[in-house]
Chains A and B, each alone.
Chain A
Amino acid sequence: MTAQLDINQLLDELETGLRRILEERGVTEPAIIGIRTGGVWLADVLSKRLGIDQAFGELDISFYRDDFSRIGLNPKVKPSSLPFDTEGRDIILIDDVIMSGRTIRAAMNEIFDYGRPASIILATLIDLGARELPIQPDVAGRVLSLAAHQRVKLRGPDPLRIELQETGQ
């Protein structure tokens, strides 16, 4: 299991996948946006790997979550920060884990409130399946299916590592 979750292997996969897609689509000046918290760490790493000079954006989706009417407001919300104009820009959106797809829906709604991007490429380090919305990553570091008692979490930022937890249930 440990070998399967080697962070560098997964980052290599992401980098290769992203380079391929950028080339296929003829995107030369992408801007990266990471979803807090894990996605922001990955945005930092991938900016360097892909040689993107444009400072990456950080998104806190607390104001856009669809479960406000169930759990209220996240008390630890931080300001989002997009240091570039999203209007007409090709965006790479990054998160650590995708499951239901609800986080990505919220993130895309938020991005559009800054301006209409030309395109969004979705990259996730780990795809756990269990989708509840028709949203799929364009590139994933690894597709995993976990047993009911298992959880996966990205720890970081330095060093970045993937933690597989057994909940014991």
Chain B
Amino acid sequence: MTAHDPSPHHLQLTRDGQLRHFLTLDGLDRDLLTDILDTADSFIEVGERTIKKVPLLRGRTVVNLFFESSTRTRSTFELAAKRLSADVLNLDISTSATSKGESLSDTLLNLEAMASDMFVVRHSQSGAPHFIAESVTPGVAIINAGDGRHAHPTQAMLDMLTIRQHKQRFEGLKVAIVGDVLHSRVARSQIRALNVLGAEEVRVIAPGTLLPKDVESLGCTVEYDMEKGMKDLDVVIMLRLQKERMEGALLPSEREFYRLYGLNREKLALAHPECIVMHPGPINRGVEIESAVADGPQSVILNQVTNGIAIRMAVMSMAMGGQVAERQRQQAKGAKA
């Protein structure tokens, strides 16, 4: 037996297919994504009880390792860990000038010395959570809370949970993702999840300057004209305009962007009458979305926040469960040998 799994996809799965890290949706099949959604459904019920806590991660330590700040994501991860009865340590580490690999390794060594069981990692560098998962002590689970332009798998899964709650299925659904796809790690994860779960069509609607090259290869169709793109939609996911990530003039102006790609009542009326409106937040009102739409009857934006806690509880308990089960198997094997 070698120390390393041959396939990088297996980094996040145990030998019998249980989750042990949650880094990306790549390589995860429909059954596993469905298990995550089903488990999250059970955690939603927990959130409705008098005591919103279960003892699954009691006595374990979860470290929120945020190299890039994000109040909402961090606080929902924190609440999720606490509802699983874990002890939580929040570390906001601004990315320093030191070389990434070295500073990460040193930070990790220190945190492992505190007997942490799970790191929730957010980093501006794509691949940082993978790097940590490869080098971390066996038994410690890594959850990706957003890395660079690469992935934001828990956000994508909470969006899938929200869609399933409102539409009960993925088959036959037409879903559009609108806006700044280029800078969006969420969009990549969403396109992947929608395809795996069986949506009929995933459409991206954006100006060419805010689309990555070969975007169709991710598994979507492209529409530059939003009014055409809204036709027959069951779900419209608005992306936040990531002004802080813009380098140079990719946009004529915010006002121009809103006129062409902002979601207002008139454009929404072109979609299916029961089309739901989603947005990962924080909302730039009047830039991506009109207030009357964000707060309107078709908006499920606040459901997304509630579902975010349940999804994070699900992946944290599943990954931790995979780690402990794997360790047990190895110990059993060691005892036999």
Contacts and interface: CB of A to CB of B under 8 A. Distances in A.
Interface in B30-53: 35, 38-39, 41-42, 44-46, 49-51, 53
Nearest to B324: A69
Contacts of A72: 18, 318, 320-325
Nearest to B313: A63
| In the A-B complex, the 8 residue pairs with the closest CB atoms | A72-B321, A79-B45, A73-B321, A72-B325, A63-B54, A113-B51, A79-B42, A77-B42
B204 to A, nearest CB: 32
A105 to B, nearest CB: 11
Contacts of A113: 49-51, 53-54
Interface string A110-136: 001111000000000000000000000
Number of chain A interface residues as a range: 20 to 34
Nearest to A78: B42
B22 to A, nearest CB: 13
A80 interface: yes
Given A75-B39, A113-B49, A63 B321 contact: no
A112 B322 CA distance: 28
B56 interface: yes
Contacts of A73: 39, 56, 317-318, 320-321
Contact of B38 (A69, A78, A80): A78
A114 B50 contact: yes
B55 interface: yes
Interface in A77-115: 77-81, 87, 109, 112-115
A77 B35 CA distance: 9
Contacts of B54: 63-64, 113
A81 B324 CA distance: 28
Contacts of A114: 49-51
Given A70-B325, A113-B50, A115-B50, A80 B56 contact: no
Interface residues of B, number: 25
Interface of A: 60, 62-64, 68-73, 75-81, 87, 109, 112-115
B328 interface: yes
Contacts of B38: 76-78
A63 B324 contact: no
13 contacts: A64-B54, A70-B328, A71-B324, A72-B320, A75-B35, A76-B35, A79-B45, A80-B45, A81-B45, A109-B55, A113-B51, A113-B54, A115-B50
A164 B73 CA distance: 51
A129 to B, nearest CB: 27
Nearest to B31: A75
Nearest to B59: A69
Contact of B321 (A68, A78, A87): A68
Nearest to B39: A77
B35 A63 contact: no
Given A77-B38, A80-B45, A115-B50, 10 more contacts: A60-B42, A63-B46, A64-B54, A68-B56, A68-B321, A70-B324, A70-B328, A72-B320, A73-B56, A78-B41
